[in-house]
Structure 1
Amino acid sequence: MKIILSLFILVTSVCSLHAQNTKEDFSDDWAALSKYKKENELVGLPKKGEKRVVFLGSSIFEFWKQKDPAYFSNNAYLDRGISGQISPQLLIRFRQDVINLKPKAVIILAGSNDLAGNRGHVSNETILNNIKSMAELAKKNHIKVILCKYLPVYEYPWNKSLKGTAEQIIALNAAIVDYAESKNLTVLDYFTPLVDKRNGQKAEYTTDGVHPNLAGYKVMEVVTDAAIKKTIGK
């Protein structure tokens, strides 16, 4: 009986070790291209007459689809948000998660995680350069560009030691607007309808001062649809 039990333990251990060794390692996938790779393949190219729009960003977009999936499923909208991502990661994903999907337009929301210091401290100029690169890639591939004024943030709950967050967001938004106007690109203003008196998010629209709740997303949907209609019709 002891021999049988020992053999069973040995076989179980070997199988477990084999499973661990054969598990795919994504440590080299810094931009998380693997996240939407299969989904992109299933979606395929737009159908005739489809006015596809890709939402490219981080957690603000990723959580949006979780809180209000019908907004995306009832429209030709593809959510390609990945929580925690910074602007260079969005730039790396741009070909796979935007260009190859052949949308009519792309909505780019970038910069907050760069400023929050999730991966290191960067300047507004660095963020804007990545946004410019994405916009240029889109234009080259006949994709209309919608650039977002970032949502108001007074402070990041996970990095309260960071000072001047609201001012940084405001300065970044001003730079994005200046660039968009110089290139005749649509500006999607998420800042104005959500901002409170201290330049943070109104309490009734947010879960933590950074991410919207369902009511906040409903407000965003109104201005988003207006920007899309202005850009490609609807």
Structure 2
Amino acid sequence: MKIRLSLFVFLISTYSLYGQAVKEDFSDDWARLSKYQKENDSIGLPRKGEKRVVFLGSSIFEFWKQKDPDYFSNNAYIDRGISGQISPQLLIRFRQDVINLKPKAVIILAGSNDLAGNKGHVSNETILNNIKSMAELAKKNHIKVILCKYLPIYEYPWNKALKGTAEQIISLNAAIVTYAESKNFAVLDYFTPLVDERNGQKAEYTTDGVHPNLAGYKVMEVVTDAAIKKVIGK
């Protein structure tokens, strides 16, 4: 009896240790490729005639699907937003979360989080270089490119010490438009329909001055559908 009990305890202890040993460590996954990896595998390639569009960005896109999931499920739209991500993380994810899904078009919304945590190492040029790399990868893989004018932001509620946010967003948008025009890429303007007199977001369209509420997303859906129709038809 004692031998059997000892063997049972040994097996339980071994199982516990083994379970801990095989627990996967994602500390090296800076760009969080693991977030959508399984979902990408389950989606597979587009069906014949499917006009798939991938939305690549950060919290603006991630929260969009949470607030209005039907907008994505009723269309061939795939949301690949991850809250808090900066443009180099989007670039790292670009092959897995865009190219490998074989969409007709990609919508790239990048730059705000780069500016929000600005320690003096981020400029329009560094953001734009990452956007350029993503756009060039898309073009190389026969994916239509839609670049976004970022939503208006007067200030970041979590970093109010950062001054001149509205002007930084306007300047970044101007740089994105100039680049897009030089390469004949489409521009999706999220700035104009949401902007108020301070160059921030209209109060009726936002939860915190940065992220839209459902009404704000409904406005974005109108201009998004128009841009997609212009680029790939719908």
- TM-score normalized with structure 2 length: 0.93
Match of 2:91 in 1: 91
**SS of residue in 2 equivalent to 1:221:** helix
Match of 2:225 in 1: 225
Match of 2:76 in 1: 76
Q: Are residues 1:50 and 2:18 paired?
A: no
Q: Partners of 1:54 and 1:123 in 2: how far apart?
A: 26
Number of residue pairs matched by the alignment: 231
Deviation at 1:220, TM superposition (A): 0.1
Deviation at 1:174, TM superposition (A): 0.1
The residue type paired with residue 176 of structure 2 is: I
**SS of residue in 2 equivalent to 1:45:** coil
> Could you give the per-residue CA deviations for residues 115-164 of structure 1, whole angstroms, max 9, x where no partner exists?
00178741010000000000000000000000000000011011111011
Counting only pairs closer than 5 Å after superposition, residues 176-191 of structure 1 correspond to structure 2 as 176-191=176-191
Counting only pairs closer than 5 Å after superposition, residues 58-207 of structure 1 correspond to structure 2 as 58-117=58-117, 121-207=121-207
Q: Partners of 2:120 and 2:28 in 1: how far apart?
A: 19
- TM-score normalized with structure 1 length: 0.93
Q: Partners of 1:113 and 1:174 in 2: how far apart?
A: 17
Q: Partners of 2:12 and 2:48 in 1: how far apart?
A: 53
Q: Give unmatched runs, 5+ long, in structure 2.
A: 1-7
Deviation at 1:23, TM superposition (A): 1.9
Q: Are residues 1:30 and 2:65 paired?
A: no
RMSD: 2.2
The residue type paired with residue 207 of structure 2 is: T
The residue type paired with residue 202 of structure 1 is: K
Contact 1:84 1:118 in 2 (8 A): no
Call closer, same or farther: CA 1:97–1:75 in 2, change over 3 Å. same
**SS of residue in 1 equivalent to 2:85:** coil
Q: Partners of 1:218 and 1:225 in 2: how far apart?
A: 11
Deviation at 1:20, TM superposition (A): 3.9
Q: Partners of 1:33 and 1:106 in 2: how far apart?
A: 18
Call closer, same or farther: CA 1:53–1:24 in 2, change over 3 Å. same
Match of 2:39 in 1: 39
Q: Give unmatched runs, 5+ long, in structure 1.
A: 1-7
Q: Partners of 2:13 and 2:203 in 1: how far apart?
A: 52
The percentage of counterpart residues that share the same residue type is: 88
Q: Are residues 1:216 and 2:216 paired?
A: yes
Q: Partners of 1:120 and 1:15 in 2: how far apart?
A: 49
> Could you give the per-residue CA deviations for residues 29-62 of structure 1, whole angstroms, max 9, x where no partner exists?
0110111111001000000000000000000000
